[in-house]
């Protein structure tokens, strides 16, 4: 038998298909039984195949080929997402063609038609399949609270929806208009914003005053910094989302407190809520006063008992009759205890979120309308306000507020009595916009400034006679700083484009908030590792420490990052971004079997398509998928096509296998959210590269950003499959998704070297990386001083290198003033070059030196504890 097997393997396809006419003998004349395919023991010749045997073998091979072709056809129908009826027609035609070719029996058409018929007759399909599935779906669908439902219903789905559905339309992405500033917005940036940056002395603000100086407060009010979102008809600036982002980025590069103070009134708060939901009377009263700075707003949501779980706030309001300014009016008795409220210590008008009840049915038949928002003047008797928290040595105005059984008119509700119970919807609808602008812009601007300053410092600072930026150990964190600054700016810019088109992308704002604050914090830690003592010693010359200290603040607010990653991004994305899940849930909630049937079978086709796309694109590493370009970024689009299909498949399988328990499987949810997030970051990076004219000099930044995102997406999928609770399903998913292996390694050392070098040398690419930053080397701007020092030092390096060659010595790049004097005396340089060396030495020393103080300069006088504060502290203890 082994010998016979070897002979079979020696037969070429041509000989197999050839019909031999010899019967009964092999060419060796051994009397072999050819029909039985058995050789005599002494026969060493290949066995020829008779005509009869060749016929059956040919039929067998053609049958196998036809079956494989049919499987491929079904896969192609799913891959291209053809409709059910068209796909059924194609399968019937294919079966008929196989029958005509005498490969299949025509009788196969009958059972195939019987199988396909119920699926193509909606009434029969609903009875046999959809109705039982509908009942099962209603049983397993996880319960959803009112606040969860309002959060899911709020906002819109934008580009993240394309990424989630497994087949992104790249032309659609590149057709989104690039955000641009108007002439008024650019003038504001060049004028008032530049002046505010010059006025800000961050060390004085954070250490000496624990607040901005009065003249800076007055300047901000005068130039309406707090009214960027307020419409011009009310005296505001009415800036675009992109202009707001540019303003905040520039301010945050100078002072975190300055950026926070300007950002909060222009984010979620009274101004935003009034414009969307306020009555005309409320708008006319408050908005002009807010625009002029006559009123300072704050918004109180967070309570000691309800932080990230804002829907569980214990603060209450009870509808009742009461006396107000000598008259009996319908109103509310409010009790609240809030903390962490930015601008609360100095606010004149308090936005308050509380749970409203109406036990006497004075408003309606609903006894518990729910979360409601109201505006309370802080001079209302009983309002406690004025105390401050001390957030991480970044003392922006932040503190608690309390009220106990305070009566106010019912008209204090934002939007009037008819908006009672609509507070949570109001908040989540507006939160997606504010969360997508303020925090990402502050983190991005801070990192961009730190990136330029750290690159300059790494070039200027020398150890072992070489710039530390040339050391491989320093190049690694420098590359991360540069790459993250580019990616974060791209992500923050792209979401503003969506907001400017009228979108309110709730899921995308969570992605951008999380990753900009998270990457920003990690990059600033890298910068501190590079700067060492220069970054640690506080003072006027420190460009880094306050950003380092304040980074956890952005991590914590407006949805703590742990919560955002593990619960919000995929938790909301799975429902909002999926093309059919929300339809299925709505149909189940409304008991609509017909709508459920349509959504269910579309969903099944979607799963089949995602499976086929994942398998094929995994086998081919995405090489067959369409891309919008043919340049060096082409392969990135193909990998993103593959991972997008993987995400669609993983999402559907996870929801099907885990059901309602997926809500509690936070680490699985987090990893699925990571994949979606990395898809967005990579696509935003490619969009930025396209919008900026595809400058090839920027490609190292693009390569790093996209490669890092693709690698992290693959790692997230691999981790998910290693930890998926159903091991059989996990194995099948792994074989489908990683059929061709892993394709996306992390950025290479060589690429890191390119980015580190880019960050240390002035160029057009480096200027684009730091676009919009305040780099004037003014007295209180250490980042601007470092930028000037870099130029001075690089100018001196040219002269220094020439002197080394001229003297044939390896001259130290220190005491350049002494070197200038000696070289000038020797006639090696002229007076102008000597001045360059002297200026570089002064800049170099200023860059590497740190501040020092008299001992009593660091002591802060402790005020005598107020009796009220003392009693409250003792009660808490």
Tokens linked to 220: 């901000």
Tell me which of 558, 787, 833, 841 is the catalytic residue.
558
Q: How far apart are alpha carbons 661 and 672 in whole angstroms?
A: 15
Q: How far apart are CA 219 and CA 195, in angstroms?
A: 9
Asked if 655 and 581 count as a contact pair (C-beta separation under 8 A), the reply is yes
Give the whole-angstrom CA distance, residue 263 versus residue 639: 37
3-state secondary structure 403-426: EEEEEEEHHHECCCHHHCCCHHHH
Q: What is the rounded distance in angstroms from the CA atom of residue 178 to the CA atom of residue 190?
A: 21
- Evaluate whether 300 touches 336 at the Cβ level (below 8 Å): yes
Residue found under tokens 């999402």: 651
Asked whether the beta carbons of 412 and 332 are under 8 A apart, the reply is yes
> Residue 864: which H helix or E strand, with range?
none
DSSP state of 397: S
Residue 330, phi then psi, degrees to nearest 5 = -75, 130
CB 376 within 8 A of CB 350: yes
CB 419 within 8 A of CB 226: no
Q: What is the DSSP letter of 488?
A: H
Q: Which residue has the tokens 């009790």?
A: 335
Count of alpha carbons within 13 angstroms of residue 240, beta-carbon side: 23
Q: Are 264 and 438 in contact (CB under 8 A)?
A: yes
Q: Strand pairing partners for 320? A: 331
- Joined together, the tokens standing for residue 150 give 């309002």
Task: Report the chain's terminal Cα–Cα distance, integer Å.
Answer: 89
How many Å is the Cα radius of gyration of the chain? Answer: 35
Residue 168 near residue 334 (C-beta atoms within 8 A): no
Strands 370-377 and 349-357 come out as: antiparallel
Measured between alpha carbons, how far is 63 from 46 in angstroms, rounded to an integer? 26
Q: What is the C-alpha separation between 856 and 864, in angstroms, rounded?
A: 19
The three-class DSSP label of residue 182 is coil
Q: What is the helix (H) or strand (E) element at residue 77, kind and residue range? A: helix 51-79
If 0-12 CB within 10 Å is exposed, 13-18 middle and 19+ buried, where does residue 798 land? exposed
- Per-residue burial over 691-719, b if 16 or more Cβ lie within 10 Å, else e, is beeeeeebbbbbbbbbbbbbbbbbbbbee
Bridge partners (DSSP) of residue 373 are: 353
CB 653, CB 672: distance < 8 Å? no
Cβ within 8 Å of residue 43, ≥6 positions away: 26, 28, 30, 32
The number of beta carbons lying within 10 Å of the beta carbon of residue 237 is: 23
558 a catalytic residue = yes
Tokens of 328: 């009996």
The CB-side HSE value for 42 (13 A sphere, CA atoms) comes to: 4
Q: Beta strand 462-463 with 398-409: parallel, antiparallel or unpaired?
A: unpaired
Angle between helices 749-760 and 423-460 (to 10 degrees): 80
Give the position of tokens 């606010």. Answer: 347
Cα dihedral sign, 622-623-627-631: positive
Residues annotated as catalytic (active site), given as ranges: 558
């Amino acid at each position: 038998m082994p010998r016979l097997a070897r002979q079979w393997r020696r037969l070429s396809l041509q000989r197999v298909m050839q019909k031999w006419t010899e019967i009964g003998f092999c060419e060796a004349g051994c009397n072999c039984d050819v029909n039985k395919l058995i050789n005599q023991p002494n026969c060493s010749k290949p066995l020829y195949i008779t005509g009869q045997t060749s016929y059956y073998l040919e039929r067998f091979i053609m049958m196998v080929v036809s079956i494989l072709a049919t499987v491929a056809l079904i896969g192609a129908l799913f891959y291209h997402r053809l409709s059910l009826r068209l796909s059924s027609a194609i399968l019937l035609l294919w079966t008929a063609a196989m029958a005509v070719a005498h490969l299949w029996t025509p009788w196969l058409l009958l059972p195939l038609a019987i199988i396909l018929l119920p699926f193509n007759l909606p009434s029969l399909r609903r009875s046999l399949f959809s109705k039982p599935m509908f009942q099962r779906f209603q049983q397993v669908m996880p319960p959803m609270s009112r606040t969860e439902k309002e959060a899911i219903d709020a906002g819109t789905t934008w580009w993240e929806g394309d990424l989630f559905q497994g087949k992104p339309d790249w032309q659609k992405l590149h057709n989104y208009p690039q955000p641009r500033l108007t002439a008024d917005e650019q003038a504001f940036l060049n004028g008032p914003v530049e002046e505010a940056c010059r006025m800000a002395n961050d060390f004085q603000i954070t250490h000496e005053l624990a607040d901005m100086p009065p003249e800076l407060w007055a300047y901000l009010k005068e130039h309406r910094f707090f009214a960027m979102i307020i419409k011009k008809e009310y005296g505001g600036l009415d800036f675009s989302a992109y202009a707001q982002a540019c303003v905040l980025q520039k301010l945050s590069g100078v002072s975190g407190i300055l950026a926070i103070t300007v950002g909060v009134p222009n984010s979620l708060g009274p101004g935003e809520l009034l414009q969307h939901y306020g009555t005309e009377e409320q708008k006319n009263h408050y908005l002009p006063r807010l625009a002029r700075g006559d009123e300072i707003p704050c918004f109180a949501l967070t309570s000691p008992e309800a932080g990230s779980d804002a829907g569980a706030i214990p603060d209450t309001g009870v509808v009742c009759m009461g006396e107000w300014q000598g008259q009996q009016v319908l109103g509310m008795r409010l009790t609240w205890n809030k903390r962490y409220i930015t601008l609360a210590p100095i606010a004149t008008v308090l936005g308050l979120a509380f749970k409203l009840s109406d036990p006497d049915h004075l408003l309606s038949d609903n006894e518990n309308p729910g979360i409601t928002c109201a505006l309370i003047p802080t001079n209302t008797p009983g309002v406690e306000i004025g105390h401050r928290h001390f957030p991480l040595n970044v003392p922006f105005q932040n503190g608690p507020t309390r009220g106990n059984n305070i009566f106010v008119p019912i008209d204090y509700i934002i939007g009037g009595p008819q908006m009672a119970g609509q507070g949570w919807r109001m908040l989540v609808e507006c939160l997606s916009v504010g969360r997508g602008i303020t925090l990402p812009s502050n983190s991005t601007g801070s990192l961009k400034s730190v990136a330029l300053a750290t690159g300059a410092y790494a070039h200027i600072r020398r150890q072992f006679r070489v710039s530390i930026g040339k050391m491989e150990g320093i190049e690694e964190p420098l590359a991360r700083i540069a790459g993250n600054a580019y990616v974060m700016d791209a992500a923050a810019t792209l979401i503003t484009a969506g907001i400017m088109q009228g979108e309110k992308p709730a899921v995308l704002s969570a992605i951008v908030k999380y990753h900009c604050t998270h990457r920003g914090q990690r990059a600033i830690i890298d910068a501190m590792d590079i700067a060492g003592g220069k970054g640690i010693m506080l003072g006027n010359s420190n460009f880094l420490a306050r950003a380092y200290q304040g980074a956890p603040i952005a991590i914590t607010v407006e949805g703590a990052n742990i919560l955002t990653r593990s619960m919000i991004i995929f938790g909301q994305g799975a429902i909002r971004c999926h093309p059919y899940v929300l339809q299925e849930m709505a149909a189940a909630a409304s008991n609509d079997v017909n709508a459920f049937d349509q959504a269910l079978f579309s969903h099944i086709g979607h799963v089949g398509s995602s499976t086929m796309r994942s398998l094929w694109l995994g086998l081919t590493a995405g090489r067959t998928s369409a891309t919008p370009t043919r340049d060096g970024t082409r392969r990135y689009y193909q990998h993103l096509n593959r991972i997008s299909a993987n995400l669609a498949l993983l999402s559907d399988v996870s929801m099907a296998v885990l059901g309602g328990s997926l809500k509690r499987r936070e680490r699985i949810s987090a990893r699925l959210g990571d994949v979606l997030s990395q898809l967005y970051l990579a696509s935003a990076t490619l969009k930025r590269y396209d919008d900026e004219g595809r400058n090839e000099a920027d490609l190292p930044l693009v390569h790093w950003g996209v490669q890092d995102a693709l690698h992290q997406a693959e790692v997230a999928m691999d981790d998910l499959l290693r930890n998926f609770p159903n091991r059989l399903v996990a194995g099948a998913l792994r074989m489908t998704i990683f059929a061709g292996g892993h394709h996306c390694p992390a950025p290479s050392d060589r690429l890191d070297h390119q980015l580190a070098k880019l960050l240390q040398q002035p160029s057009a690419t480096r200027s684009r990386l730091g676009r919009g930053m305040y780099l004037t080397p003014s007295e209180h701007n250490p980042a601007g001083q470092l930028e000037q020092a870099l130029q001075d030092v690089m100018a001196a390096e040219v002269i220094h290198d020439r002197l080394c060659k001229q003297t044939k010595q390896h001259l130290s790049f220190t005491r350049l003033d002494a070197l200038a004097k000696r070289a000038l005396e020797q006639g090696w340089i002229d007076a102008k070059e000597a001045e360059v060396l002297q200026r570089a030495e002064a800049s170099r020393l200023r860059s590497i030196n740190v501040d020092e103080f008299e001992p009593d300069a660091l002591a802060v006088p402790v005020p005598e504890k107020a009796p009220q504060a003392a009693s409250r502290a003792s009660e808490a203890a």
